[in-house]
Amino acid sequence: MNDNIKKVLRHPTQSEGLIFEKSSPGKRAFDLPPLDVPPVDAAKALGEFHRGGGVEGFPEVSEIEVLRHFTRLSTWNYAIDLGMYPLGSCTMKYNPRVNEFVARLAGLATEHPYQPQELSQGCLKILQLLEKCLLEITGMDAVTLQPAAGAQGELTGILLIRAHHEKLGNPRKTVLIPDSAHGTNPATAIIAGYQVQNIKSSDEGQIDIARLVEQVTGDVAALMLTNPSTLGIFEQRIAEIAKVLHAKGALLYMDGANMNALAGVTRPGDLGVDVMHLNLHKTFSTPHGGGGPGAGPVATKKILEPYLPVPVLVEKEGGRLVLDYHRKESIGRVRAFGGNFGVLVRALAYILAYGPGVRQATEDAVLNANYIRKHLEGVFDLPYTRPSMHEVVFSDALQKKHGVNTMDIAKRLIDYGFHPYTTAFPLIVPGALMIEPTESESKEECDLFIDAMKSIAREAEADPEVVKTAPHTTRVRRLDEVAAARKPVLRWKPGGKKSEAAD
Ligand SMILES: *Cc1c(COP(=O)(O)O)cnc(C)c1O
C-alpha cells in the first residue's frame, strides 16, 4: 500500500475503534447541578421497578466522543446519498426525503395494528388508495399488499396458482423457469411443492416459442417469467407465451421486480400475465440497502382473487373499510397484520407525487442504462445485443485475457468512489457485470461512472496487478464475504480484544 494511503488510514476518521475502547472511568456526557432537595435512594423509591446499577462495562465517554464515534462509523458505509449505486437487479434509486417525512407523520408512524378498525380508517384508506394505484400501474384486477419482500410475493403468487389448480382437481407438478430468471424463482417453486423445469434462452436472450410449445404439457402449473429478464432485455413475445400457456390451462407468473423498466409505459395485465409481484422497495422508492424492510405486493387477475391471503381490505356501505379475515378459499395468512405499513406509505407518497410522471422515471431509467451501454460497448464485452431496458449486462471476457475478472473490476470501482455493480449474475453470462444506474443519476454522474470504468479497463491492460489487488483506499481490503454472516461477533467483553486496524 502506498505511504500516503497508509497515512490517511491512520487518521481516526478511518481507524475508529470500538466505543468501549474509548471509555475512561467516571467520564460523563452530562453534568447535573448540585441537588437542592434531599437525596432519595432510588432502589427504595422505585421498588421492583428499580433496574439496578446499569450495564457492566458500559462505555463512559463524553458527548463529543459519542457523536464523533457514530458519525465516523456512518462515513464508512456507501450510500445512495453519497453517490451512484449501480447494483444491477436491485434498483437502488434515490428515495425522496419527503417520503420519509410522510412515513414519520404522527397518526401514521404511531398507529397500532391492534387498535379498533373504526379508529384506523385513515390508515386503511391509504392501503386502499395504494391498491388502486398498483392495479392501475399493473393492469390487474386484485392485489394483496401483505408480502414483505419480492421473494415472499413470489411464494404467495405460486401458492395462489396452486390453489387454483387444486380447485380444478389437480395441483399439477411442474413450474417452467427460463435460465435468465432470478434465483428466487426456482427456490419459490420448490418451496411451493413443484418441480422446476428449465427453459433455455435463445441467443437473443428470449424464450424460444417453438420449444415452449413442446414443454407446456398438462403437468405444467405455470411459467415464471422475469420481464424484463435479468439480462435487462424485454421478452417481446410475452403475449404469445401467455396464449401457449393458457391453451394448456397453465398460468403465467411475472416476476415484476424489474418494473422500473415498465411502470407507466406498459401493463403486464394487458400482456396476458395472470399474477405478478412488485418490489415496492425497488421500483417505488424505499431505501433498501442493508436488507430491508421491503414490500412485495401480489397483483392477480380475477380467477385468482378468491385465494388471496387474509385479511382482504373490503369497502362496506358508506365507504367504511374493514379487514375481512373470513374467506373460505384463501391460502391463509402470509404475514402479520396488513403488511409493512411504513413501506406502503412511502410507495403511495412516491406514486402520488409523480402521478403520470412515473412514465418519465421509467423512460429516464432506460435512457441512463442505454447511455452507459453505448459508451462502454467495445470497452467491455456485450454478450446479448438486444436493446437494454433498465440495466445492461456486460461480461469480463476482454479483461480475462489479462487475468482480471468482474470481481476485481468491481472492487477497483470502490477506489473510484462508486458502489460496485452486481457481479457474476445473471448466471447465464459468465463473469457478468450487471449495471443499473436508475433514473436518479444525472448525465454528469453517469459520465463519471463511464470514465471510471474506462480507466479501469485501461489499467486491466497496462497494470492488471493494481486491479487484482483492489480496493486500495478503503479501511479494509478484500474480506471473507461469508464469515461476517456465518461467524458474527456481536458482543464486546470488557477487557476483550482490541478491534483490528486496517492492514
Ligand atoms: C430483487 C429481485 C427478487 C427478490 O426480491 P426480494 O425483495 O429481494 O425478495 C426477485 N426477482 C428479481 C428479478 C429481483 O430483481
DSSP 241-304: HHHHHHHTT-EEEEEETTGGGTTTT--GGGGT--EEEE-HHHHT----TTS------EEE-GGG
184 Cα nearest atom in ligand 1: 10
Over 90: is that where the pLDDT of 209 sits?
yes
Q: Residue whose CA is closest, atom 15 of ligand 1? A: 89
Q: Residue whose CA is closest, atom 2 of ligand 1? A: 257
Instruction: Output the CA 345–ligand 1 centroid distance in Å.
Output: 20
pLDDT value for 432: 96
Calpha distance 84→289 (Å, rounded): 13
In terms of average pLDDT, the best of 73-82, 107-116, 247-256 is 247-256
Over 80: is that where the pLDDT of 498 sits?
no
Instruction: Output the CA 257–ligand 1 centroid distance in Å.
Output: 6
Q: Which range (128-132, 163-167, 492-496) has the least confidence?
A: 492-496
Tell which residue, 501, 498, 503, 340, has the closest CA to residue 20: 498
Indicate the average pLDDT of the chain: 92
294 Cα nearest atom in ligand 1: 7
Other Cβ atoms less than 10 A from the Cβ of 399: the count is: 26
Q: Encode 150-219 in three state secondary structure.
A: HHHHHHHHHHHHHHHHHHCCCCCCEEEEECCCCCHHHHHHHHCCCEEEEECECCCCCECHHHHHHHCCCC
Q: What is the pTM of this model?
A: 0.88
pLDDT value for 452: 97
Q: Please, which pLDDT band fits residue 501 given cuts at 50, 70 and 90?
A: very low
DSSP 431-491: TEEEE---TT--HHHHHHHHHHHHHHHHHHHH-HHHHHT---SSSS-S--TTHHHHS----
Q: Please, which pLDDT band fits residue 56 given cuts at 50, 70 and 90?
A: confident
pLDDT value for 493: 63
In terms of pLDDT, which residue wins out, 247 or 72? 247
Testing ligand 1's pocket by substitution, the residue of 154, 177, 182 carrying the most ligand atoms inside 8 A of its CB is 182
Rounded to the nearest angstrom, the gap between the alpha carbon of residue 35 and the centroid of all alpha carbons in its chain is 53
Which residues surround ligand 1 with Cβ inside 6 Å? Answer: 89, 149-151, 182, 184, 226, 230, 255, 257-258, 279, 294, 296
Q: Please, which pLDDT band fits residue 496 given cuts at 50, 70 and 90?
A: low
Q: Please, which pLDDT band fits residue 503 given cuts at 50, 70 and 90?
A: very low
In terms of average pLDDT, the best of 76-90, 382-396, 488-502 is 382-396
91 Cα nearest atom in ligand 1: 15
Instruction: Output the CA 77–ligand 1 centroid distance in Å.
Output: 23
Domains and CATH numbers, the chain: 3-48+56-74 (no CATH), 97-356 (3.40.640.10), 360-485 (3.90.1150.10)
pLDDT value for 4: 65
Other Cβ atoms less than 10 A from the Cβ of 337: the count is: 13
Testing ligand 1's pocket by substitution, the residue of 89, 227, 435 carrying the most ligand atoms inside 8 A of its CB is 89
The C-alpha angle 27, 33, 34, rounded to 5 degrees, equals 105
Over 60: is that where the pLDDT of 365 sits?
yes
Over 90: is that where the pLDDT of 415 sits?
yes
Instruction: Output the CA 135–ligand 1 centroid distance in Å.
Output: 20
Residues 324-331 have a mean pLDDT of 96
89 Cα nearest atom in ligand 1: 15
Instruction: Output the CA 236–ligand 1 centroid distance in Å.
Output: 21
Summarize pLDDT for 425-466 with one digit per residue, the tens.
888 999 999 999 999 999 999 999 999 999 999 999 999 999
Percent of the chain with pLDDT over 90: 75
149 Cα nearest atom in ligand 1: 7
Percent of the chain with pLDDT over 70: 94
Instruction: Output the CA 261–ligand 1 centroid distance in Å.
Output: 14
Distances (CA, A) of 363 to 27, 99, 369, 385: 56, 22, 10, 19
230 Cα nearest atom in ligand 1: 13
Q: Please, which pLDDT band fits residue 502 given cuts at 50, 70 and 90?
A: very low
In terms of pLDDT, which residue wins out, 498 or 442? 442
Residues 176-191 have a mean pLDDT of 94
Instruction: Output the CA 427–ligand 1 centroid distance in Å.
Output: 15
For the record, the C-alpha cell of 16 comes out as: 475508529
Q: Which residues of 229-242 are buried (b: 16+ CB within 10 A; e: fewer)?
A: bbbbbbbeebebbb
Instruction: Output the CA 150–ligand 1 centroid distance in Å.
Output: 5
Testing ligand 1's pocket by substitution, the residue of 255, 260, 262 carrying the most ligand atoms inside 8 A of its CB is 255
Would you give the DSSP letter of residue 11?
S
For the record, the C-alpha cell of 350 comes out as: 412516491
Q: Residue whose CA is closest, atom 5 of ligand 1? A: 150
Q: Please, which pLDDT band fits residue 500 given cuts at 50, 70 and 90?
A: very low
pLDDT value for 220: 98
Q: Encode 86-101 in three state secondary structure.
A: CECCCCCCCCCHHHHH
Instruction: Output the CA 455–ligand 1 centroid distance in Å.
Output: 31
pLDDT value for 425: 85
Instruction: Output the CA 459–ligand 1 centroid distance in Å.
Output: 34
Instruction: Output the CA 93–ligand 1 centroid distance in Å.
Output: 15
